[in-house]
Each structure stands twice: as C-alpha cells, then as structure tokens.
C-alpha cells in the first residue's frame, strides 16, 4: 500500500490543514490504529475522503498522531502539504 505519512504532536486545540493537488483519503490515527492501517486490518480514524482542498481535520484530544494520505487503492498519485493550525 502506498501512502504519505506524517507524525504529528498535536495539542487539544490544534487542527491539521492538508493541502492536496487532487482528491485523496486523509486519515488521522493514534499509534495502534495506524499500525492496524499499515497491516491492512480494520482501524478507526478521523477524516475521510477529501474532495476539496484545503482539508481540515481535528483530533479529539492532544497527543501523538499519525496522518496517512492515500488514493484508496485507485491508481495515480497525490502531493500534499501538511501544517498544524
């Protein structure tokens, strides 16, 4: 599985702004869910299919988070810029 990965240390009031050059899946996960995602297992995440850019996703609480951006199994590629706001 091909995906872009970002490790983020987020505060309780932070949000993540993702600027994409096309639509893609944006998934914000904790460590255990990220490991399940990487291994193709069922996982829980915040976010979803981003059809507009920029796309903003907020964590439910502060801590260490993992952001994965993928094409959902479809061909092609995506470029992304990620910032904490």
12-40 pLDDT, tens digit each: 999 999 999 999 999 999 999 999 999 99
What is the rounded CA–CA span in Å between residue 56 and residue 39? Answer: 26
Q: Is the peptide bond before 54 cis (omega within 30 degrees of 0)?
A: yes
Q: What is the mean pLDDT of residues 56-62?
A: 96
DSSP H helical ranges for the chain: 31-38
Confidence tier at 50 by pLDDT (50, 70, 90) = very high
Domain positions in the chain are 4-74
């Amino acid at each position: 599985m091909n995906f872009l990965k970002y490790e983020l240390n987020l505060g309780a009031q932070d949000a993540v702004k993702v600027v994409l050059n096309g639509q893609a899946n944006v998934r914000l996960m904790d460590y255990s869910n990220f490991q399940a995602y990487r291994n193709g297992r069922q996982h829980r995440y915040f976010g979803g299919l981003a059809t507009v850019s920029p796309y903003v996703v907020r964590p439910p609480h502060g801590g260490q988070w993992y952001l994965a951006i993928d094409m959902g199994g479809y061909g092609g590629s995506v470029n992304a810029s990620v910032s904490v706001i």
